[in-house]
Homo-oligomer: A and B are copies of this chain.
């Protein structure tokens, strides 16, 4: 059975059901699972574990690459099966449990989880559930649409359950580039000097003795659901392309730019779509996620090569990519996330990073994660890995939201994921603030003039003017710095007139 996908003879006898696999996971253990931006995740074992937990209560620490698809995090949260969860999630049900304090969520730079596990900063991993397309003769596994932390989990977990996904064509073999940095004090150089450079092997080494079961699945990844560009995202993309052209004119960039990184979301998608209809050429990408727009750029001959840790695309793109996988393999590679997000490589390559902010303050600090400063949305993901080390660190957001009841440019962000030191450029549909080489007071003027929504601009200016009278490198009025957020919580709007009589 499945001898074309299980080439290690002894392992052909390890087939088990998802329910049997879920039964092997004990209470209070640390479980690793493949899965990065909903790709290459556990399709059946984790759901079976959630099902089991509804009648046989247990709790685990679940560590993944990044987010899982198919609502699996929600199933686990609903079944109260998660004690601790890291390093990222996007599930609306799990989010509620996290914000209630029922699930302990560790929001972590995606480059760091493997390092922390290796170094023993986290408890030992008991069991890993890894999706694979193929098990080689030596027991090594070929991952599917993501690598994420699977290479580290395979090395560190005591036991391994393989989810062999037969819906993924065997031609996926050769897409991955697996490299280990080793342990301190003999940590190796990561020798990537170009996005298209391969430095490792195509399969993840696995000790066959550790494989306690193989579960067959044929469930595809959750399809990405990316909203089409709208007026605001198109405007943002336009400002950014104009900025790139300005940088070319100044001799700081060429029409090939530098390797691009783009977060998930419709703004990043709009920017990449904007590149499609531009004079830029011979582009490259050194990113986390390869999305629809990446493949459009490759197909258009605009992008030479894209490096990521996962492929997260819509259903038609998924079909097409696997239909033409041999062609795409010349243009893409999937790496472990401690390599795709490595500070070392990002700084060496001079990545241009584009990520989405929840809100920004007038001095250029960015909140990527906490709604109202308190409630977790998704997590910092890889944005910090890229923003800190990028050649250009760009954040995009709409100027206002919720029918303009929320200004996304505020006096002070109530949660800082990226400090002013790590933010070069901020773009909204209103305009672009180039914050390089500017002191905080200069940054504030640009942020208010270029990025803020017209309705909030005078109020931001009033705040800034009054704050400057009190002095400082970064002028603020702490006694009322979060009045806008507090008002929004109480009234549903940050607009000044809503509560003016009472609060001013």
Which of B185, B258, B470, B478 touches A350 (beta carbons < 8 Å)? B185
A65 within 8 A of B: no
Q: How many residues does chain A have at the interface if contact means C-beta atoms less than 8 Å apart?
A: 85
Residues of B within 8 A of A122 (CB): 436-437
User: A212–B129 Cα gap in the complex (Å)?
Assistant: 66
A116 within 8 A of B: yes
Q: Mark A101-120, 1 if CB is under 8 A from B, else 0.
A: 10011111100100110011
A290 within 8 A of B: no
Among A106, A186, A187, A467, the most chain B Cβ lie within 10 Å of the Cβ of: A106
Residue of B whose beta carbon sits closest to that of A254: B185
A132 within 8 A of B: no
A496 within 8 A of B: no
A250 within 8 A of B: yes
**Nearest-Cβ distance from residue A201 to partner chain B, whole angstroms:** 21
A473 near B370: Cβ-Cβ < 8 Å? yes
User: A84–B369 Cα gap in the complex (Å)?
Assistant: 33
Residues of B within 8 A of A376 (CB): 472-474
A391 within 8 A of B: yes
Stretch of A35-43, A228-236, A311-319, A416-424 contacting B (4+ beta carbons < 8 Å): A416-424
Can you show 29 pairs from A to B with CB atoms below 8 A apart?
A84-B439, A100-B471, A101-B441, A104-B438, A105-B439, A106-B437, A107-B421, A107-B473, A108-B421, A109-B421, A121-B252, A121-B424, A121-B437, A181-B348, A184-B258, A185-B194, A185-B350, A188-B193, A188-B348, A189-B193, A343-B389, A373-B476, A374-B474, A375-B471, A375-B473, A414-B481, A416-B416, A419-B419, A478-B482
B373 near A416: Cβ-Cβ < 8 Å? no
B388 near A388: Cβ-Cβ < 8 Å? yes
Q: How many copies does the complex hold?
A: 2
Q: Mark A362-382, 1 if CB is under 8 A from B, else 0.
A: 000100011011111000100
Among A98, A121, A475, the most chain B Cβ lie within 10 Å of the Cβ of: A121
**Nearest-Cβ distance from residue A414 to partner chain B, whole angstroms:** 6
- Summarize A's interface: helix, strand, loop or mixed: loop
A329 within 8 A of B: no
A468 within 8 A of B: yes
A349 near B187: Cβ-Cβ < 8 Å? yes
Residue of B whose beta carbon sits closest to that of A98: B473
Instruction: Enumerate chain A interface residues (CB-CB to B < 8 A).
Output: 84, 98-101, 104-109, 112, 115-116, 119-123, 181, 184-189, 191, 193-194, 250-252, 258-259, 342-344, 347-350, 365, 369-370, 372-376, 380, 384, 388-389, 391, 412, 414-417, 419-421, 424, 436-439, 441-442, 467-468, 470-476, 478-479, 481-482, 485-486, 489
Given known contacts A343-B343, A424-B121, A482-B479, A101 and B471 CB-to-CB distance under 8 angstroms: yes
Given known contacts A436-B122, A441-B104, A189 and B189 CB-to-CB distance under 8 angstroms: yes
A374 near B252: Cβ-Cβ < 8 Å? no
Residues of B within 8 A of A370 (CB): 472-474
- Since A99-B472, A185-B258 are in contact, a sample of 5 more A-B pairs with Cβ atoms closer than 8 Å, ordered by chain A residue number, is A100-B471, A119-B391, A187-B349, A373-B476, A375-B472
Residues of B within 8 A of A259 (CB): 185
Among A181, A374, A417, the most chain B Cβ lie within 10 Å of the Cβ of: A374
User: A193–B223 Cα gap in the complex (Å)?
Assistant: 42
Q: Give the 4 A-B CB pairs with smallest separation, nearest first.
A: A374-B472, A376-B473, A184-B350, A416-B416
User: A437–B100 Cα gap in the complex (Å)?
Assistant: 19
User: A329–B373 Cα gap in the complex (Å)?
Assistant: 51
Residue of B whose beta carbon sits closest to that of A104: B439
Which of B184, B416, B436, B439 touches A391 (beta carbons < 8 Å)? B184
B191 near A415: Cβ-Cβ < 8 Å? no
**Nearest-Cβ distance from residue A90 to partner chain B, whole angstroms:** 14
Residue of B whose beta carbon sits closest to that of A473: B376
A106 near B438: Cβ-Cβ < 8 Å? yes
Given known contacts A106-B437, A120-B250, A476-B374, A471 and B421 CB-to-CB distance under 8 angstroms: no
User: A417–B347 Cα gap in the complex (Å)?
Assistant: 20
Residue of B whose beta carbon sits closest to that of A343: B343
Residues of B within 8 A of A441 (CB): 101, 104
Residues of B within 8 A of A181 (CB): 348
Residues of B within 8 A of A123 (CB): 437
A414 near B476: Cβ-Cβ < 8 Å? yes
Residue of B whose beta carbon sits closest to that of A247: B120
User: A473–B472 Cα gap in the complex (Å)?
Assistant: 31
Which of B189, B251, B342, B479 touches A486 (beta carbons < 8 Å)? B479
